């Protein structure tokens, strides 16, 4: 199972919006609504930000939103803040009852 494809890095100025893509296949991202997104700060464990493509857990800012079209899922961060600087990973359930993560995206706040 190959890793889902994410851009290595995305940057934006405070207040701007950025979007991170996550491209898979019809056997994972495209076949299920089970895409989730995780934020990871250096030296810390990942934190769930979005589940089931577009749902936010309680306590996660509404500046984070998710969507999906075909084999590509996306995470949008609006009103970018300094604290959003971190690595972001997508994850998808797969047709062989396993999970696959994305390659990861480093978000830089300029």
Partner 1 sequence: QVQLVQSGAEVKKPGASVKVSCKASGYTFTDYYIHWVRQAPGQGLEWMGRITPNNGGTNYAQNFQGRVTMTRDTSISTAYMELRRLTSDDTAVYYCARDNYADYWFDPWGQGTLVTVSS
CB 66 within 8 A of CB 1: no
Take residue 18 and report the two structure tokens written for it: 């950025």
CB 20 within 8 A of CB 105: yes
Residue 57 found at the interface with partner 1 (CB under 8 A): yes
For residue 82, which phi and psi values (nearest 5 degrees)?
-55, -35
Residue 1 found at the interface with partner 1 (CB under 8 A): yes
Of 19, 27, 30, 47, which lies in the binding site for partner 1, with binding defined by CB under 8 A? 47
Residue 70 found at the interface with partner 1 (CB under 8 A): no
Site size toward partner 1, by CB under 8 A? 24
* Least CB distance to partner 1 at residue 2 (A): 11
Number of CB atoms found within 10 A of residue 15's CB? 10
Residues that bind partner 1 (CB under 8 A): 1, 3, 32, 34, 36, 38, 45-48, 51-52, 57, 89, 91, 93, 97-104
């Amino acid at each position: 199972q190959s890793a889902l494809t994410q851009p290595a890095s995305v940057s934006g100025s405070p207040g701007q919006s950025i979007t991170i893509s996550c491209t898979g296949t019809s056997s994972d991202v495209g076949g299920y609504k089970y895409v989730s997104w995780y934020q990871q700060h250096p030296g810390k464990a990942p934190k769930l930000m979005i589940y089931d493509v577009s749902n936010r857990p309680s306590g996660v800012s509404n500046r984070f939103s998710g969507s999906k079209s075909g084999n590509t899922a996306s995470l949008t961060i609006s009103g970018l803040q300094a604290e959003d600087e971190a690595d972001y990973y997508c994850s998808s359930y797969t047709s062989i009852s396993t999970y696959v993560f994305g390659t990861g995206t480093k978000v830089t706040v300029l």
